[in-house]
Amino acid sequence: MDSGSWLLTPEFMKSIVINGGRQLSGEVSISGAKNAALPIIAASLLCEGEHRIANVPSLVDVKTLTKILRNMGVTVELADHSAVIDSTKLANPEAPYDLVRTMRASVLVLGPLVARFGKARVSLPGGCAIGARPVNLHIMGLEKMGATIAIEHGYIEANAERLKGARIYFDIVTVTGTENLMMAAALADGVTILENAAREPEVIDLAHALIQMGAKIEGAGTDVIRITGVEKLRPMNYRVLPDRIETGTFVIAAAITNGSVIIRDCAPQHLDALLAKVAESGAEITLGEGTIRIVGSETIKPVNVKTLPHPGFPTDMQAQIMSLMCLAQGTSVINETIFENRFTHVAELRRMGADIVIEGGSAIVKGVPKLLGAPVMATDLRASASLILAGLAAEGQTVISRIYHLDRGYENIEGKLSALGADIKRV
């Protein structure tokens, strides 16, 4: 394709081309966490005034949430990894389907809107490639806090005089469910107890931002979170924590290419389960202050993985470690317990020569001596990452289409990988 014509290609038609076989080396800096930035941006709906948020990653999902806030009448300035948000003039507490359907995490505006305005009209998020992803627990919690909720024409219509504190038990650990109700409880009348709450670092980061806003929250990071509602909150001035899934993806990139990489501006303490598995597979991992050093090993040992809520092995790293296991000397069993359909990357990895059999919720990965580059298709955010990782190690050229999935959750991944010596470009 000559240089000029690719300019005419709409973003979603672009592909990533990788010529595999390069060993990565050098240093890479990690961006702010997508899954902390999203709830923290939503928290700016809880009170008037100018909120300042730093280390915001430049991602499509962040831009989508920004559009949803602007659509409500909120002013949002996004520039150079920071956001300045003022929801004083919020006019209509509504999140429309055409925006929500592109990003399920938009449901995070529900709790703040009901807490501050006593009403909200938020489109039910559709399902997505990895599963049905219902939000029944979000709704159950708000109803326990006194909201009346109707589901009509694909929208959640919520109304409440003033939310009341309640004891809410999650029968399934839900990250955004915990976050939505923690935000709602911050302004409720009385004490709310969230039991079997999510313990992800991003939940803790949101709690820290809310506490800076004047919220009274204890126990974030444990499975029981206690929130004592207050009358009013004040604007935050908060810095988002590093993205542990981006970090984990680069850990695997170094291991799968038998490279030697230093990852900076990260939080190694949030990745114990992943780092333990990558070390078990033979890579040499050294932790420093906000840094991880990975040196790959010639032979990759098979490891068994079971995804679990934090601090267990993160489901968002399941596709990525599967790519590594495709090249292990032996058989690995990867059991996905969080989502019912998070193996869409398997068919694409098979196109590259991987030997994977799915048995119910587990993938049996028999290592092969090498993967071969091939044209493949991204199906969801983390599946895209697993295909890039496989392409880095494969012999020959891999072309990945539908990379709009990738841009939702990784900031300039091809730029960061090129800087580490990968032969990768977007066309």
Instruction: Give CA separation, 182 vs 136, 305, 368, 419, in Å.
Output: 16, 30, 46, 40
- DSSP states along 277-319: HHHHTT-EEEEETTEEEEE--SSPPP--EEB-STTSB-GGGHH
The DSSP string of 385-417 is: HHHHHHHHHSBSEEEEE-THHHHTT-SSHHHHH
- Say if CB 36 and CB 206 are below 8 A apart: yes
Of 196 and 260, which has the nearer Cβ to ligand EPZ? 196
Compute the distance between CA of residue 379 and CA of residue 344 in angstroms, rounded to an integer. 7
Q: Which of 155, 313, 339, 410 binds ligand EPZ (CB under 6 A)?
A: 339
Q: Judged by CB under 6 A, does residue 37 bind ligand EPZ?
A: no
Instruction: Assess 135 for contact with ligand EPZ (CB under 6 A).
Output: yes
266 is a catalytic site residue: no
Contact flag: residue 385 with ligand EPZ (CB under 6 A): no
Window contacting ligand EPZ (CB under 6 A); options: 75-83, 128-136, 217-225, 352-360: 128-136
62 interacts with ligand EPZ by CB under 6 A: no
Strand pairing report for 167-169 and 148-152 = unpaired
Encoded tokens for 276:
């333990």
Strand ranges in 109-240 using DSSP code E only, listed in sequence order: 119-123, 148-152, 155-159, 167-169, 191-195, 216-218, 224-228, 237-239
The yes or no reply on residue 250 touching ligand EPZ (CB under 6 A) is no
Query: Is 138 or 416 the residue whose CB approaches ligand EPZ more closely?
Result: 138
> CB under 6 A: which stretch of 41-49, 84-92, 127-135, 370-378 binds ligand EPZ?
127-135
- Residues near 366 by beta carbon (within 8 Å), at least 6 away in sequence: 330, 331, 355, 356, 357
322 binds ligand EPZ (CB under 6 A): no
From the list 68, 90, 175, 266, which residue makes contact with ligand EPZ (rule: CB under 6 A)? Answer: 175
- Asked if 206 contacts 40 with a C-beta cutoff of 8 angstroms, the reply is yes
Residue with smaller CB distance to ligand EPZ, 175 or 371: 175
Write down the least CB distance from residue 376 to ligand EPZ, Å. 19
Give Cα 216 to chain centroid, integer Å. Answer: 26
With beta carbons less than 8 A apart as the criterion, state whether 70 and 83 touch: no
State how far the Cα of 350 lies from the Cα of 352, in Å rounded to an integer. 5
How many amino acids of this chain bind ligand EPZ (CB under 6 A)? 24
Task: Please report whether residue 134 would count as binding ligand EPZ according to CB under 6 A.
Answer: yes
* Given 15, 66, 106, 174, the residue binding ligand EPZ (CB under 6 A): 174
**Closest-CA residue to 387 (of 403, 367, 410):** 403
- Cβ 315 to ligand EPZ, closest distance in Å? 5
Positive or negative: CA dihedral 379, 382, 388, 389: negative
Name which of residues 41 to 60 contact ligand EPZ (CB under 6 A): none
Joined together, the tokens standing for residue 117 give 């305005």
Rule CB under 6 A: say whether 222 interacts with ligand EPZ: no
For residues 54 and 172, which CB has a smaller minimum distance to ligand EPZ in the complex?
A: 172
Is 307 in contact with 315 (CB distance < 8 Å)?
yes
* H/E segment holding residue 25: strand 25-29
3-state SS, residue 104: helix
Residues 276 to 315: which contact ligand EPZ by CB under 6 A? Answer: 315
Cβ nearer to ligand EPZ, comparing 131 with 421:
131
| Nearer Cβ to ligand EPZ (163/374) | 163
Under the criterion CB under 6 A, does residue 384 sit at the interface with ligand EPZ? Answer: no
Binding of ligand EPZ at residue 409 (CB under 6 A)?
yes
Q: Is 320 one of the binding residues for ligand EPZ (CB under 6 A)?
A: no
Burial 270-309 (b: 16+ CB within 10 A, else e): bbebbbebbeebbbebeeeeeebebebeeebebbebebeb
273 binds ligand EPZ (CB under 6 A): no
Cβ of residue 131: shortest distance to ligand EPZ, in angstroms?
Answer: 5
CB of 38 to ligand EPZ, least distance (A): 5
Residue 381 binding ligand EPZ, by CB under 6 A = yes
Q: Which of 32, 112, 165, 177 is the binder for ligand EPZ (CB under 6 A)?
A: 177
Contact 413, 386 (CB under 8 A): no
| Nearest CB to ligand EPZ, comparing residues 20 and 343 | 343
Q: Is 316 in the site for ligand EPZ (CB under 6 A)?
A: yes
Looking at the annotation, which residues are catalytic?
128
Binding footprint of ligand EPZ on the chain (CB under 6 A): 34-35, 38, 104-105, 131, 133-138, 172, 174-177, 315-316, 338-339, 381-382, 409
